[in-house]
Amino acid sequence: MKVNKTIPLKIMLSLALILGLASCSKKSKSESASRGTGWNVSSSKGGFTKGAGHKTQETGPGLVFVEGGTFTRGLVQDDVMHDWNNVPNQQHVMSFYMDETEVTNLMYLEYLEWLKKVYPPTEENYKNIYEGASPDTLVWRNRLGYNETMTNNYLRHPAYANYPVVGVNWVQAVEFSKWRTDRVNEAVLEKNGYLKKNAKTLDVSAESNFNSETYLAAPTMTYGGNEEILLKGKGASKKGPKPDKNGNMVEEKNVYAQRSSGILLPEYRLPTESEWEYAAAADVGQREYNIYKGQKKYPWSGSYTRSGKRSNKGFQLANFKQGNGDYGGIAGWSDDGADITNAVKSYPANDFGLYDMAGNVAEWVADVYRPIVDVETNDFNYFRGNVYTKNKIGKDGKIEIITNKNVVFDTLSNGKLVPRYLAGEIAQVPVDENETYLRQNFSTSDNINYRDGDKQSSKYYKFGGADADKGKASDKEIMYNAPKHNVKIDSLGNMERKYDKSSKRTTLINDAVRVYKGGSWRDRAYWLDPAQRRFFPQDMATDYIGFRCAMSRVGSKSNTKKSPRN
């Protein structure tokens, strides 16, 4: 009689498989248990974080990842203008995202078309919304130059579609960034099943539109509370709320997307000056082990504006003014390919993959200008311009949502009207003692003048005096005595402009003057240095200043696994 020796082997394999599955089952249960309480936090039967899990931030449309790090901010070349407004100092910038190119005419026209559709300028209530966002095309005019072709065509003609938008002031650039945030997150929610498909184009109106912060704070007030547009997530019951043991209807929780859902992107915004300079310099391109091999003069390596590579040797690496009356060079292969601006991506990208970080157009950044960077106070994500606010609470105890009836317009010093908020947004008020009491890190809502412009910074400040901590400096004692141009609108809508003709003004610097970075098509090569910084009134526009957006990085510093270098 033969004995089948394969039977015990099959039994052993079966037992091993069963034990393996059992161990996997135990492992999966332990992985879902909280490390703080031991509870199953994602349980459908009363867990804390239903569907919780690790999510990596997605890269928003048009953006490039910039890994943060330490760098030498400031001028290391000769300061021929003798400004001394950016002395070398070591700073650290967190990882962030930045637009691959400057915002183009086509991108900005998408914004204008949306405004025209949602807030028709033909209606009296809305005409200032569209006009307030429109670029100033008259920036191209010159008293002794013929530039009417650009005045009439630069913004809207298809030939200029991929050219950087100009004629946009700092305030308009900020408003565009807010609008872009909402449109991107609106598309994200639609993709994930939280909004009715195509509602963002077919159902949007002045009374019914989307705002990211409103959706997070009070989702049912988005789109005017239209339940046909606002869809509940996959975790919600198709039959709606269910009664409890006592017959009372229990409201469903976590049925709308939240910050904890991990799908909504942070806001698009203007980059800080530190971020812009770090991204433009792109010192990572000349890193050797744990050091940078010198400081770059331009966003590319080397001390020259022409390429030294065999494939394109002699080509200009940026669009700038090469000399008096020389905006592009002699016609032919050796010129820079442009006399005014040029289409984005016409020149090589820097080592972060960013285009036109030198030349083409200079760019607005978020910072308020001051001639001194206060490096002694902060060397981490340096930024001057923080104004902290909070959601306004109405008399009914709920957040106050702006409607078409309570839109407030701000009048800029040049007479342009811009809405403070659009319908659907949450009204904001300055933070008060409830947020600042006994804090060490900030004590006021407006921090623009901290250590440079406040009373304590003035030469008239008396340390230890009886009135040392009382109020602000008087007009005679303020540190930055800039012109004050006033525009008033009477009850009939007539505008009265008052130009400041005072001969006692001592500076052009005030709290409404912003930094712009990078050289432009109008600038000589000196201004292509990423460390150069200049200022311009935030409510005025030019034919040589544009902008690009940035976005903060949420989570890990790096988006790739690192490996040691041999």
Specify the pLDDT at position 27.
46
Which of the four pLDDT bands, split at 50, 70 and 90, describes residue 22? low
Output 395 or 553, whichever has higher pLDDT.
553
| Residue 367 C-beta-side C-alpha neighbours within 13 Å | 23
Specify the pLDDT at position 30.
47
- Residues 312, 319: contact at Cβ < 8 Å? no
For 20, the 3-state DSSP assignment is: helix
Helix, strand, coil shares of the chain as percentages rounded to 5?
20, 15, 60
Question: In the CATH scheme, what architecture does the domain 60-192+263-385+511-561 have?
Answer: Alpha-Beta Complex (3.90)
> Terminal CA-to-CA distance of the chain, rounded, Å?
65
Count of CB atoms within 10 A of residue 134's CB?
Answer: 19
Is 475 a residue whose pLDDT tops 80?
A: no
Separation CA 230–CA 234 (nearest Å): 13
Is 346 a residue whose pLDDT tops 90?
A: yes
Specify the pLDDT at position 219.
92
Q: Which residues pair with 504 in a beta bridge?
A: none
Separation CA 46–CA 227 (nearest Å): 26
Separation CA 342–CA 328 (nearest Å): 11
Task: Quick: pLDDT tens for 297-315.
Answer: 889 888 888 888 877 777 8
pTM for the model: 0.89
- Residues 153, 166: contact at Cβ < 8 Å? no
Specify the pLDDT at position 566.
47
Specify the pLDDT at position 460.
77
Specify the pLDDT at position 237.
53
Q: In the chain, pLDDT over 70 holds for what percent of residues?
A: 85
Task: Quick: pLDDT tens for 420-431.
Answer: 888 899 999 999
Separation CA 369–CA 534 (nearest Å): 8
Average pLDDT, the chain: 86
Task: Quick: pLDDT tens for 53-106.
Answer: 567 899 999 999 999 999 999 988 778 888 889 999 999 999 999 999 999 999
Is 468 a residue whose pLDDT tops 60?
A: no
